[in-house]
């Protein structure tokens, strides 16, 4: 009988408290939920984060199936926060004290031939024995079984994992070294063979390998050599191959599939090299949280974040701050060519020996889960912003290199002259605070007498928190600070790249943020809607990728102090901007290479040297409409009109996805914007939006929203049934817009 693997996400019974086996009364009081699930759905802000810092219990009935006969039956948990204990029929089976990595549970010895109760008790308390807890944390760790659970069967001999490492990547003939990790679950004669097939994504055979195996082997190593015609995985052309490994004998069979990419990634003292060429890394930090449901978002929303980072904001690197993130997110990074710096859980605090041994186990779990992702170029084996603990970090580095000799290690710190035990000195450099220095020189930070691989892993963020609905002057300064660090990074070839803090605003503990449980550190808000600073990064892409022309202004006389409008920043990748203000002569303006000489695409900056005060006039004089045209190689590629008399005209509703699968808890982000007659955002229109749903979708969070800075967002989750879902968004001022989703 064949083995199977299927999701075990539906119809769990959920109740607060520690209940290894639900009583009849507890079962009657329980809520039926599907996974991924958050134990406590929080408000957008001003909530009590201690509400989820306690135990919760999930229980699901598993009936004995004929397919279980002669098999080993497993559950695989992709992620449960934070201290998980698994029971079968009230008997403890195993626990897992890491909320970010997967764990397997062997059910076979505990199952009855009939009805079985699988109970998972998770404790959302901030247990000081478990990373990242023990100190204060500037992010939330939402309790719940927030990733998939899988039910699967195997024979007594199974493939536990497969590692594939590409060698000789830049040679004509390449090699893929493969290690297959076997587990003999029960004793017996296990003689057979292993077959490995390397294919293209279209299924065309590239190479194969066959060799005999026995159950006494825990690891089988072999190489697929002399591979020709292999296409490299790169940021612009992320070519993936499929590696299928199967074992088969008289009383066992098992298959394991993984995707691989052929690429060479190396941090050097002269910068980062991808496939032998210098690539300046332009990165962003990402938390995996969402409004209301915290971590509990299924695959579609995870992938949409990767799309946003690479395709919308134009970054080439993401750091998984500060923990291993969802497999679906990393899969999408592989597909997009989005590089990843992945790190273990933690934030500044390092605990006692028990805590440290748990963190070392986290290094193993992270690397063994993710070592085949070509997008991952660096392992973070140090707790973010912690002090030097040399003995501890010697162990994390040694383990990382032993598990994966193909990748370098980094360890994010925020203090200079730190002991360099890793391969790359990764530094949170917050020196910019309105002064003249945007970034320190690497050797000034490292204190070493030699150059070493060096990357800036955070900047700005808490140094200048900015809301999307803040005044124009603050947003102007916010943009300048991001531009200045970017320019300083590009200026220094010894800096491999810089990773901004951070992708979006995020919920946090009471000890941090603006008092409303939000850190407004992002280049976008919690709904991933961009602030002006996002365009500082987007504008660094080539025009062939996407023309960008974003003025940093609400275009009104009187928004800034003294009713000034200059200087005016236009974030763009155009060669030239044509600026037409009222009836005054058209101006042709060039990017400000004098102020930002190292950026690929400096902004255009309009000041009183470009436009006389008489043209713009003063308070009490007429305000005019402006028209902008962007040119590249002499061709018009972008145009924008900003009216002197903006009038609330319409709602714009956009969805990341138009089609969603039924019964998967798949969700799509929807943005709602109030626009004027020229299609520009109306930043001070704070109307109420009523959401009405017809068909198989659910609104995550409230169904009555308020525009913040002229816009707001939400996520819609597909229901259990198939069909069309029509969602209507109504504003008193701007009428209604409808969105149709196909649930299939």
Catalytic residues: 385, 458
Helix 327-336 and helix 299-307, axial crossing angle in degrees, nearest 10: 40
Distances (CA, A) of 672 to 536, 728, 737: 23, 11, 9
CA-based angle 51:150:80, to the nearest 5? 20
Structure tokens given for 731:
């504003």
The 3-state secondary structure of 670-687 reads: EEEEEECCCCCECCCCCC
Collapsing DSSP states into helix, strand and coil, what is residue 335? helix
Q: Measure the CA–CA gap between 460 and 468, rounded to whole angstroms.
A: 16
- Do 124 and 81 touch, CB atoms closer than 8 A? yes
Q: What are phi and psi of 615, to 5 degrees?
A: -70, -50
Scored b (16 or more CB within 10 A) or e, 470-503 reads: bebeebbbbbbbbbbbbbbbbebeebbbbbbbbb
Please give the full DSSP string across 441-486, using - where no structure is assigned: -HHHHH--SS---EEEEE-BGGGS---TTS-HHHHHHHHHHHHHHH
What's the CA dihedral at 167, 171, 174, 177 to 10 degrees?
Answer: -10
Residue whose C-alpha is closest to residue 455's, from 264, 236, 285: 285
Structure tokens given for 210:
């066959």
Cβ-in-10-Å burial (0-12, 13-18, 19+) of 244 comes to middle
Cβ-in-10-Å burial (0-12, 13-18, 19+) of 311 comes to middle
Distances (CA, A) of 261 to 243, 264, 304, 320, 332: 10, 10, 22, 20, 13
Half-sphere exposure of 718 (CA within 13 A, CB side): 26
Residue matched to tokens 């009855």 = 112
Q: Measure the CA–CA gap between 168 and 230, rounded to whole angstroms.
A: 11
Residue whose C-alpha is closest to residue 53's, from 1, 109, 128: 128
Query: Cα 712 vs. chain centroid, distance in angstroms?
Result: 21
Read off the DSSP letter of residue 30.
Answer: P
Residue whose C-alpha is closest to residue 203's, from 147, 145, 160, 242: 242
Q: Measure the CA–CA gap between 165 and 221, rounded to whole angstroms.
A: 11
């Amino acid at each position: 009988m064949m083995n199977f693997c299927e999701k075990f996400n539906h119809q769990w019974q959920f109740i607060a408290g520690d209940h290894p086996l639900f009583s009849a009364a507890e079962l009657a009081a329980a809520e039926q939920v599907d996974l991924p699930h958050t134990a406590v759905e929080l408000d957008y802000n001003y909530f009590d984060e201690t509400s989820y810092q306690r135990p919760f219990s999930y229980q699901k009935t598993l009936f004995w199936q004929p397919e279980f006969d002669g098999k080993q039956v497993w559950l695989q948990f992709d992620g449960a926060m934070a201290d998980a204990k698994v029971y079968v029929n009230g008997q403890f089976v195993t626990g897992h004290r890491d909320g970010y990595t997967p764990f397997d549970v062997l059910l076979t010895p505990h199952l009855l031939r009939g009805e079985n109760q699988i109970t998972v008790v998770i404790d959302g308390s901030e247990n000081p024995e478990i990373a990242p807890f023990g100190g204060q944390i500037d992010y939330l760790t939402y309790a719940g079984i927030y990733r998939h659970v899988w039910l699967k069967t195997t024979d007594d001999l199974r493939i536990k994992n497969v590692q594939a490492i590409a060698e000789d990547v830049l040679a004509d003939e390449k090699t893929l070294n493969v290690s297959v990790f076997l587990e003999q679950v029960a004793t017996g004669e296990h003689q057979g063979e292993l077959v490995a097939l390397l294919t293209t994504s279209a299924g065309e055979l590239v190479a194969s390998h066959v060799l005999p195996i026995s159950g006494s082997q825990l690891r089988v190593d072999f190489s697929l050599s002399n591979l020709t015609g292999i296409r490299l995985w790169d940021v612009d052309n992320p070519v993936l191959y499929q590696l299928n490994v199967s074992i088969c004998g008289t009383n066992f069979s098992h298959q394991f599939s993984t995707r691989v990419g052929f690429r060479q990634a190396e941090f050097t003292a002269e910068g980062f090299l991808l496939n032998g060429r210098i690539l300046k890394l332009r990165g962003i930090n990402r938390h995996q949280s969402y409004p209301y449901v915290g971590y509990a978002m299924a695959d579609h929303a995870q992938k949409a974040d990767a799309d946003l980072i690479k395709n919308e904001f134009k970054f080439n690197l993401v750091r998984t701050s500060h923990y291993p993130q969802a497999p679906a997110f990393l899969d999408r990074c592989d597909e997009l060519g989005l590089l990843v710096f992945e790190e273990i859980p933690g934030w500044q605090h390092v605990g006692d020996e028990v805590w440290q041994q748990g963190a070392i186990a986290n290094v193993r779990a992270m690397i063994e889960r993710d070592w085949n992702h070509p997008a991952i170029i660096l392992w973070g084996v140090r707790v973010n912003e912690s002090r030097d603990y040399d003995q501890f970090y010697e162990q994390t580095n040694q383990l990382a290199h032993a598990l994966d000799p193909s990748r370098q290690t980094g360890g994010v710190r925020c203090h200079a002259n730190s002991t360099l035990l890793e391969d790359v000195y990764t530094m949170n450099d917050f020196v910019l605070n309105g002064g003249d220095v945007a970034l320190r020189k690497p050797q000034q930070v490292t204190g070493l007498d030699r150059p070493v691989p060096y990357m800036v892993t955070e900047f700005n963020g808490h140094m200048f928190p900015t809301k999307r609905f803040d005044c124009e002057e603050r947003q102007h300064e916010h943009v300048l600070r991001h531009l200045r660090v970017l320019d300083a990074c590009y200026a220094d070839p010894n800096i491999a790249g810089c990773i901004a803090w951070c992708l979006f605003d995020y919920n946090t503990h009471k000890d941090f943020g603006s008092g409303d449980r939000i850190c407004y550190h992002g280049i976008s808000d919690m709904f991933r809607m961009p602030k002006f600073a996002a365009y500082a990064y987007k504008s660094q892409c080539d025009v062939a990728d996407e023309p960008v022309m974003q003025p940093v202004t609400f275009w009104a006389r009187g928004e800034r102090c003294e009713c000034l409008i200059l200087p005016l920043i236009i974030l763009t990748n155009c060669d030239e901007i044509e600026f037409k203000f009222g009836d005054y002569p058209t101006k042709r303006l060039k990017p400000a290479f004098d102020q930002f000489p190292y950026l690929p695409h400096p902004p255009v900056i309009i000041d009183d040297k470009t436009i006389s005060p008489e043209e713009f006039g003063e308070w009490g004089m007429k305000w005019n409409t402006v028209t902008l045209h962007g040119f590249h190689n002499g061709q018009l590629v972008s145009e924008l009109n900003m009216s002197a008399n903006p009038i609330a005209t319409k709602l714009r509703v956009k969805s990341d996805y138009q089609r969603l699968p039924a019964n998967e808890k798949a969700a799509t982000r929807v943005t709602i914007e109030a626009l004027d007659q020229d299609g520009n955002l109306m930043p001070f229109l704070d109307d109420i939006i009523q959401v009405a749903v017809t068909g198989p979708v659910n609104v995550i969070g409230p169904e009555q929203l308020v525009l913040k800075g002229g816009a707001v967002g939400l996520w819609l989750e597909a229901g259990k049934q198939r069909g069309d879902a029509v969602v209507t968004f109504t504003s008193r001022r701007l009428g209604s817009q409808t969105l149709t989703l196909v649930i299939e």
